[in-house]
Amino acid sequence: MIGCRHQKPIRNIIMFSLFKKNFSPPPTPTANLSIRCMEEKDLEMVMNWCKEEEWNVGKYDAAAYYALDPKGHFLFLLDEQPVGAISIVRYSSQLLAIGPFIVKKEYRNKGYGAQIWQHAIELLENNTNATACLYSVPTQISRYASSGFKKDFHIQRWQKSFVKKTSNVEETTEDLKQLNSLSIESIIEYYQSIFSASRKKLLAKFIQNENIVGFASTDDNGKITGFGLIRPCVQGYRIGPLYANHIENAQKLFYSLLTKANNCTVFIDAPSHNPYIERFTSFFNLDRVSEADTVAMFRGEVPISLSTNKHKNYAVCSLEIG
């Protein structure tokens, strides 16, 4: 079971980082770190570290990430001072996600990142029946491969400078429904059929937040055929997740979400293995932000539903928790 290990020193290995682009073997640290589970305020602090690194995280992500798994976020300390952090979120007994992995600037190049990563590896080794996933910058793929992760698909960053509403907004979106008007059970059922694990706690936090907007498309029987969310980030807005059975659904949802962006730039992280992504991004004249591309990597078997439903995945929720 993944859980807290209070104030336990952890041993060293070579340092890896989900988002650090330059790699060099760290020196042996002069001290071991202690560790504890985060409180929600700690995770908010860590998300602020991410903002300082110019990671375009959502303004309200900390509360949602914490709700996912309160025991899955770990803070590392040196003489009671926060040094770094990592999250290993348990979605189910079959799926784990490695989230923000970061060391504060003033503590880098001392080997502390190695200690933090070792803690993650120990937890994964105690959950051998579970698949673990993460997103890596391309330069770090070989490093994570050394820990048993295999690359599966690429994530492309795209952006759209907001275009003012046109006269046909209502016509384009009239058959869509506000996400908060639907039963959360129906949304979870659709989401889980693609993602492979329940995201009820995450969705509940997002849907309850008045600053986050969602729409869904439905068929004649009221069954969900697609849905998407838009939320404010450090810079502009992020659309994700965006799932849809057909590209026409995805286009309507994306367009309706764009109208909520308040003249700001909108970003999406789109799985390149969706065969309709090129057509989708061309339809909206989206611009590539290739320097922010990542690669989805898995340790263990990739959930079948993610592979068989790749044509329905137009934007991942986040690079921190998938």
Between CA 114 and CA 142 the distance in angstroms is: 16
User: Please, are residues 224 and 188 in contact by the beta-carbon 8 Å criterion?
Assistant: no
Inform me whether the pLDDT recorded for 160 exceeds 90. Answer: yes
Q: Can you tell me the mean pLDDT for 220-241?
A: 96
- Average confidence (pLDDT) over 275-291: 96
In whole angstroms, how large is the CA radius of gyration of the chain?
20
- pLDDT > 70 in the chain, percent: 87
Q: How far is CA 29 from CA 6, 19, 313, in A?
A: 20, 21, 42
Please state, in angstroms and rounded to a whole number, the distance separating the CA atoms of residues 169 and 26: 54
Distance between CA atoms of 16 and 23, rounded to whole angstroms?
A: 8
DSSP 249: H
User: Crossing angle for the helix pair 61-68 and 200-208, nearest 10 degrees?
Assistant: 150
pLDDT for residue 249:
96
pLDDT the model gives residue 30: 56
Contact 176/215 with Cβ under 8 angstroms? yes
What is the band of 173 on the pLDDT scale with cuts at 50, 70, 90? Answer: low
- For residue 86, list its beta bridge partners: 74
Instruction: Write the single-letter amino acid at 178.
Output: Q
Tell which residue, 61, 128, 52, has the closest CA to residue 299.
128
Question: Is 112 in contact with 102 (CB distance < 8 Å)?
Answer: no
Q: What angle do CA 147, 152, 153 make, to 5 degrees?
A: 130
- Write down the pLDDT at residue 171: 47
pLDDT band at residue 14 using 50, 70 and 90 as cut-offs: very low
**Helix or strand holding residue 133 (H, E):** strand 131-136
Whether 65 and 73 have beta carbons less than 8 Å apart is answered as yes
For residue 251, the model assigns a pLDDT of 97
Q: How sure is the predictor about 83, in pLDDT bands with cuts at 50, 70 and 90?
A: very high
Burial of 33 (0-12, 13-18, 19+ CB in 10 A): buried
Is 224 in contact with 178 (CB distance < 8 Å)? Answer: no
Between helix 200-208 and helix 184-195 the angle, nearest 10°, is 130
- The model's confidence at residue 170, banded by pLDDT at 50, 70 and 90, is very low
Report pLDDT for 146.
93
Q: How confident is the model at residue 165 (pLDDT cuts 50, 70, 90)?
A: low
List, in sequence order, the alpha helices (H) in the chain.
40-52, 61-68, 112-125, 141-145, 169-173, 184-195, 200-208, 247-258, 277-283, 304-308
Of the pLDDT bands very low, low, confident and very high (cuts 50, 70, 90), residue 317 is very high
Please tell me the pTM assigned to this model: 0.86
Q: Say if CB 16 and CB 147 are below 8 A apart.
A: yes
Give per-residue pLDDT as tens, 17-59: 343 444 445 555 557 899 999 999 999 999 999 999 888 999 9
Q: What is the DSSP string of 295-309?
A: EEEEESPPPHHHHHT
Give per-residue pLDDT as tens, 84-118: 999 999 999 999 999 899 999 999 999 999 999 99
pLDDT at 128: 87
pLDDT class of 277 with cuts at 50, 70, 90: very high
